[in-house]
Amino acid sequence: MISQTCTRCVMDTSDPRISFASDGVCNHCLEFEEKTRKNWFPNAEGEARLRQMLDQIRVCGRGKQYDCIIGLSGGIDSSYMALKVRDWGLRPLVVHVDAGWNSELAVGNIEKIVKHCNYDLHTHTVDWEDMRDLQLAYLRAGISNQDVPQDHIFFSSLYHFAIDNNIQFILSGGNIATEGILAKSWHEGSAMDAINLKAIHRRFGERALHSYKTISFFEYYIQYPLLKKMRTFRPLNFIPYNKKMAMDQLHATIDWRDYGRKHGESLFTKVFQNDYLVRKYGYDKRRPHLSSLIVSGQMTRDEALEELARPLYDPEEREIDLDYFCKKLRITRTDYEAFIDGFKSRYHDYPNWEVKYRLLKKVQSAIECVCGKRVNVYS
């Protein structure tokens, strides 16, 4: 395929499923305007919707120690949301999941936020041998999304803590303003798919998982949203969220420190996104990140192209990071290079919950047709 870059954003043919209109605008930009933007309310309507949701959270939280739960990684989105939750007068239980790869900056940012907001913080430290074995299994599997073991335990921990503490609302820092464009072909499937995760681990893992707690299809799609009435709410989609504005406010308020790159709070993710993914698959995660900022009006295309022209990884920094990465996983650099050069596999190469999901969506659609209202399950 001849290399081509979108004339509006900076997504290119490194995404094998990209397509272009006659004017050179890609399908990601068109989907953002036609579908994604409809769920983004950085305006008066969003303010009203946010106020209504906050009122609902407060009412449901009456008489309870906490009225919501938030996950805090120390990154910009979750950090800014934590400050706003304090401004809104909510009483969150703050959960941080330590998967063994926290940077010093991440730990420092979390401590500053919790202290400034006077939050209760629960840190769940993942059993390192469980995490190591899962991450090595994924590296052996050649899957493009190596972050699944971290992502799954992060979100499953939030859901389990919410249930244990009788909390109905999970507030997420995920947002359209900085994540409106995603290359789905780069990371197929859902990180919440425990069937897929366990299948990969059964084939490539070396030991049983002792305390790594997953979330099942039934829990995620039926028990929690329908029986327990749990809701995941993304408040940053209902305010004029701007990345630079958020960073400036965080720095001025708590001396928050920037990582210099998205998701730099995890050294595993840093190496995975900036070395493994680029060299093995040719995917530069800066492209969807920067494209999201372009379509949300936070950056020009020329500014994004200038950013892409800069080296992705400083050579000296890369060597330091890879040395730590390999030592922590107890592998050699030769082992790591073999993972890079080894076979590639996809989400659908292993058992997964896609058939169950499609069946659930059919049932949901049928019920909605009969009842005339939306049935709230996670999408």
How many CB atoms are located within 10 Å of the residue 84 CB?
18
- In this prediction, residue 364 carries a pLDDT of 80
CATH number of the structural domain spanning residue 343: 3.40.50.620
* Domain-embedded: residue 104: yes
Provide the residue range defining the domain that includes 147. Answer: 35-282+314-349
Residue 23 lies in a domain: no
Q: What is the pLDDT of residues 295-331, one digit of tens each?
A: 999 999 999 999 999 999 999 999 999 999 999 999 9
Q: Determine, yes or no, domain membership for 359.
A: no
Question: Does 220 fall in a domain?
Answer: yes
Count up the domains in the chain and report the number.
Answer: 1
pLDDT in tens, the chain (379 residues): 579 999 999 999 999 999 999 999 999 999 999 999 999 999 999 999 999 999 999 999 999 999 999 999 999 999 999 999 999 999 999 999 999 999 888 899 999 999 999 999 999 999 999 999 999 999 999 999 999 999 999 999 999 999 999 999 999 999 999 999 999 899 888 999 999 999 999 999 999 999 999 999 999 999 999 999 999 999 999 999 999 999 999 999 999 988 765 556 789 999 999 999 999 999 999 999 999 999 999 999 999 999 999 999 999 999 999 999 999 999 999 999 999 999 999 999 999 999 999 999 888 888 767 776 665 555 4
Q: Is residue 27 part of a domain?
A: no
Q: Is residue 305 part of a domain?
A: no
Domain assignment present for residue 157? The answer is: yes
Q: Please report whether residue 306 resides in a domain.
A: no
Distance CA 253, CA 113 (A): 9
- Rounded distance between C-alpha atoms, residue 177 and residue 87, angstroms: 21
